[in-house]
Amino acid sequence: MNAPQLDEQIAKYSRICNRLSDEVARLLVGQERMVSRLLIGLITGGHVLLEGVPGLAKTLTVSSLAKSIRTDFSRIQFTPDMLPADVIGTEIFNPKDATYSVKRGPIFSNLVLADEINRAPAKVQAALLEAMQEKQVTIGTETFRFAEPFLVMATQNPIEQEGTYPLPEAQVDRFMLKTSVAYPSREDERKIVDRIAGGKPVPEITPVATPEEILETRAVVEKVWCDDKVRDYAVDVVRATRPSDSTPGQPTEGSTPAFENMIEMGASPRASIFLLKAGKAHAFLDGRSYVTPHDIKSLAPDVLRHRIVLTYEAEAEGKTVDSLLQDLLDNVPVP
């Protein structure tokens, strides 16, 4: 496909994303960054984790985006007393004919909202591993594949809050993006108060896209061109988070010595893959057929913040993952 044809396809399919964001904006005030990250996950097939204190419209945003697509949607409210069968389903014994039948759980949907995912115990969180990575689940002896598109959009409260369980590294690594949701600006908060507390009717979300259009959009995003120098930059950014290789005391090639004592565990190669995919989607949403280093740099915090574990030394110095990532991005040469 030549460049003019690709530009034409990007212009055509980016209008689908514009319709989705416009439909969500009918109900939601502000939070454009959160919406754009959800759209990136949607058009790349990557799961998205939203973190923020209660009341920042995380659940409302995810459910509104899901309702704007003409497809199956399920919401799972995670609680401390849940069992894995409450998520993936279970086998039920039929005494009449002495047979077992499978009752599918709410995970069997195209779009799944995992609400307050870190309020569930470890066994329930582990039940999502196969579903998120392999896009299938095993119940008894049967394996069931999910229909495309399949996407988990999860929300969680800050881990310091009471009644939360930290997500295991193996599961949190399955999320393509982890976006921190901030408080709205004063202007946006005033609009929220006027809209919700003003007695006006809340607009209904109507579907403006189909699953087929989402899958076609994903195919176009894959065609966005990325120069070798930009690919190298994405790999360098990820490798800079790794303090050492498998040999103790030996720094990883491409790692940043200044951060050697700050990072206990760096990002895996999955982060490099996700960073490049997210960069393509970022360029697509911007109407471009090529990826720039700015696309990579803009998405790097969302792709990496949940894949890095700080050392005690870094925490003692008051470092946070976000501040360390910003310092790291400032040190990695940009092509």
Question: Does 322 have pLDDT greater than 70?
Answer: yes
Check residue 248 and give its pLDDT. 38
- What the block records as the tokens of 203 is 């607009």
% of residues, the chain, pLDDT over 70: 92
Point out which residues pair with 77 in neighbouring strands.
Answer: 115
Q: How far is residue 231's CA from residue 241's CA, in Å, rounded to a whole number?
A: 16
Using an 8 Å Cβ cutoff, are 319 and 310 in contact?
A: yes
Neighbours of 258 (CB within 10 A): 11
**Confidence class for position 246, pLDDT limits 50, 70, 90:** very low
100 or 175, which is more confident? 175
Q: What is the pLDDT of residues 302-319, one digit of tens each?
A: 999 888 888 888 888 888
Q: Which CATH class is domain 224-331?
A: mainly alpha
Question: Does 252 have pLDDT greater than 80?
Answer: no
Q: How far is residue 210's CA from residue 319's CA, in Å, rounded to a whole number?
A: 44
Q: What is the pLDDT of residues 193-232, one digit of tens each?
A: 887 776 667 778 889 999 899 999 999 999 999 999 999 9
Domain 3-217: which CATH number of 3.40.228.10, 3.30.1600.10, 1.10.10.10, 3.40.50.300: 3.40.50.300
In the chain, residues under CATH classification 1.10.8.80 are: 224-331
Question: Does 76 have pLDDT greater than 60?
Answer: yes
Instruction: Report the largest interatomic distance among the alpha carbons of the chain, rounded to a whole angstrom.
Output: 69
Residue with tokens 């689940």: 137
Question: Does 300 have pLDDT greater than 50?
Answer: yes
In the chain, residues under CATH classification 3.40.50.300 are: 3-217
- pTM, full prediction: 0.86
